[in-house]
């Protein structure tokens, strides 16, 4: 069954001098409106314990346009300004729902320069895009075609820190599900090997940041020598930004190819729920973990599995995948990070990463079949032993545990099997 999705297509474009000036003014007005609305809502909450709505912020925007010192807000399209208020409303909704921190002010130097245009603020005619307040269409480099018989509903124009201009078009698209296959794969993320698969394959980590570390250090040294506020300092800053952009683009391209391959080849993909924010607090590994970009890989797997009719299973981060013997089910008491290969008491020699990937797959298949959680046994011990010691005795930690209120379902899945369900 074909799936109808909203899909963004991003292209690079080259504005004329007039278009660049108009977009720069729009970016500045969007940032100003966002910050003023945030300031007003913060003052209302802290001073009067009153929550402001989007409608009230929109009325304030109308008053600002009438004021003499902010009359320049009328020179740009009103749609990006209204969209900025909607984004602020979303930020506050996420904050009050405890999904995000309190909204922060947008910085001219650090925040992303962007403006969002809805259907009433741009013209799409003959495959050419013209934004409001502009007379000529954008000079877009069409790296891939838009879906047939569709038009963009929302257009977002942005400029990155390297000075490159991009336009992102949100369109309705039809995605055909991939051919059904019986294969399943467990994925163990790492640093030396970006991922180890339950099939025994290891995908090496390209380490794009480490490859360009010398180039980046040289550009940063040149930046530090330039006088603040000078034109040469801005040129040096652009050179640093271009190195960062090169690293980011190459990493994203590699992750897209890897995630697409994994989704196309397997019906079920099983991964671990890694706490990346906590892991990067380790200053010895923070740079390598950030370069690996595990969170970005997971995000790609999530939406691609949804698009192509695949199942993505995420097991609990406390599951001892590396310390669990996939042959006999015994869990080791401890396993140093430097230990890449270990021998179980049953005599089985394990590659740490491949063994973890196979255990992840077995646990994920068990959870998928039984509909429960995969997490270690944490109940108090009747014998007085600690829960961790009980975990290390048998591999019952690998079986799914039902949440409270769920009906028990018969399920027998051996941990040593990777395709038995």
3-state SS assignment for residue 117: strand
Higher pLDDT, 372 or 99: 99
pTM, to two decimals:
0.81
Say if residue 251 is in the same domain as residue 339. no
| Ranges 152-161, 298-307, 317-326: which has the least confidence | 317-326
Give the model's pLDDT for residue 373: 55
d(CA 306, CA 177): 9
Say if residue 322 is in the same domain as residue 273. no
pLDDT in tens, 378-420: 443 334 443 333 333 333 344 443 333 344 333 333 444 433 3
3-state SS assignment for residue 106: coil
Q: Is the pLDDT of residue 307 over 60?
A: yes
- Mean pLDDT for 205-209 is 94
342, 332 in Cβ contact below 8 A? yes
Residue 356, domain member (yes or no): yes
204, 356 in Cβ contact below 8 A? no
374 confidence band (pLDDT: 50, 70, 90):
low
Say if residue 155 is in the same domain as residue 248. no
d(CA 415, CA 182): 18
Say if residue 199 is in the same domain as residue 157. no
Q: Is the pLDDT of residue 321 over 80?
A: yes
Average pLDDT over the chain reads: 86
Q: Which domain holds residue 218?
A: 190-293
Q: Is the pLDDT of residue 182 over 80?
A: yes
Say if residue 99 is in the same domain as residue 205. no
Say if residue 276 is in the same domain as residue 159. no
70, 59 in Cβ contact below 8 A? no
415, 398 in Cβ contact below 8 A? yes
pLDDT in tens, 324-350: 888 888 888 888 888 888 888 888 888
Residue 284, domain member (yes or no): yes
Which positions are catalytic? 188, 272, 353
Percent of the residues in the chain that have a pLDDT greater than 70, as a whole number: 88
Give the model's pLDDT for residue 51: 87
201 confidence band (pLDDT: 50, 70, 90):
very high
Higher pLDDT, 110 or 53: 53
- Mean pLDDT for 24-30 is 96
Say if residue 80 is in the same domain as residue 112. yes
Q: Is the pLDDT of residue 98 over 50?
A: yes
Give the model's pLDDT for residue 419: 36
| 3-state SS record for 199-212 | CCCEEECCCHHHHC
Helix axes 17-48, 54-66, angle to 10 degrees: 120
What letter does residue 67 receive in the DSSP assignment?
S
- Mean pLDDT for 92-114 is 92
Give the model's pLDDT for residue 256: 96
Give the model's pLDDT for residue 346: 86
Give the model's pLDDT for residue 372: 58
Say if residue 60 is in the same domain as residue 108. yes
Say if residue 332 is in the same domain as residue 405. yes
pLDDT in tens, 49-78: 888 999 999 999 999 999 888 999 999 999
What residues contact residue 240 under an 8 Å CB cut-off, 6+ apart? Answer: 216, 219, 220, 223
Residue 181, domain member (yes or no): no
Give the model's pLDDT for residue 416: 40
């Amino acid at each position: 069954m074909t799936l109808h999705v909203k899909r963004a297509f991003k292209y690079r474009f080259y504005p004329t001098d007039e278009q660049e000036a108009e977009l720069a003014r729009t970016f500045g007005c969007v940032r100003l409106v966002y910050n003023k609305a945030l300031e007003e809502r913060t003052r209302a909450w802290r001073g009067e314990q009153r929550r402001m709505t989007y409608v009230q912020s929109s009325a304030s925007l109308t008053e600002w346009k009438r004021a003499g010192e902010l009359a320049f807000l009328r020179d740009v399209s009103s749609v990006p300004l209204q969209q900025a208020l909607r984004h602020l409303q979303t930020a506050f909704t996420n904050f009050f729902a405890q999904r995000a921190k309190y909204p922060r002010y947008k910085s001219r130097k650090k925040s992303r320069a962007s403006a969002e245009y809805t259907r009433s603020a741009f013209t799409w005619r003959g495959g050419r895009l013209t934004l409001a307040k502009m007379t000529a269409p954008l000079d877009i480099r069409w790296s891939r075609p838009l879906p047939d018989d569709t038009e963009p509903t929302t257009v977002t124009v942005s400029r990155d820190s390297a000075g490159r201009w991009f336009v992102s078009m949100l369109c309705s698209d039809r995605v055909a599900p991939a051919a059904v296959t019986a294969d399943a794969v467990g994925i163990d993320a790492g640093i030396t090997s970006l991922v180890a698969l339950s099939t025994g394959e290891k995908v090496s980590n390209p380490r794009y940041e480490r490859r360009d570390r010398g180039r980046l250090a040289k550009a940063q040294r040149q930046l530090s020598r330039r006088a603040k506020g000078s034109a040469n300092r801005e040129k040096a800053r652009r050179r640093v930004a271009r190195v960062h952009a090169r690293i980011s683009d190459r990493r994203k391209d590699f992750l897209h190819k890897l995630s697409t391959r994994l989704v196309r080849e397997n019906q079920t993909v099983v991964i671990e729920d890694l706490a990346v924010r906590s892991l990067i607090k380790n200053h010895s590994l923070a740079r390598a973990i950030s370069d690996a970009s595990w969170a970005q890989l997971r995000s790609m797997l999530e939406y691609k599995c949804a698009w192509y009719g695949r199942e993505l299973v995420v097991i609990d981060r406390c599951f001892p995948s590396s310390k669990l013997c996939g042959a006999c089910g015994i869990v080791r008491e401890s396993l140093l990070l430097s230990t890449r290969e270990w021998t179980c008491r049953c005599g089985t020699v394990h590659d740490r990463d491949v063994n973890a990937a196979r255990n992840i797959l077995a646990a994920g298949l068990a959870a998928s079949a039984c509909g429960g959680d995969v997490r270690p046994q944490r109940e108090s011990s009747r014998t007085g032993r600690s829960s961790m010691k009980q975990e290390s005795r048998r591999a019952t930690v690998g079986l799914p545990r039902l949440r409270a209120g769920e009906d028990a379902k018969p399920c027998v899945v051996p941990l040593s099997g990777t395709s038995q369900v």
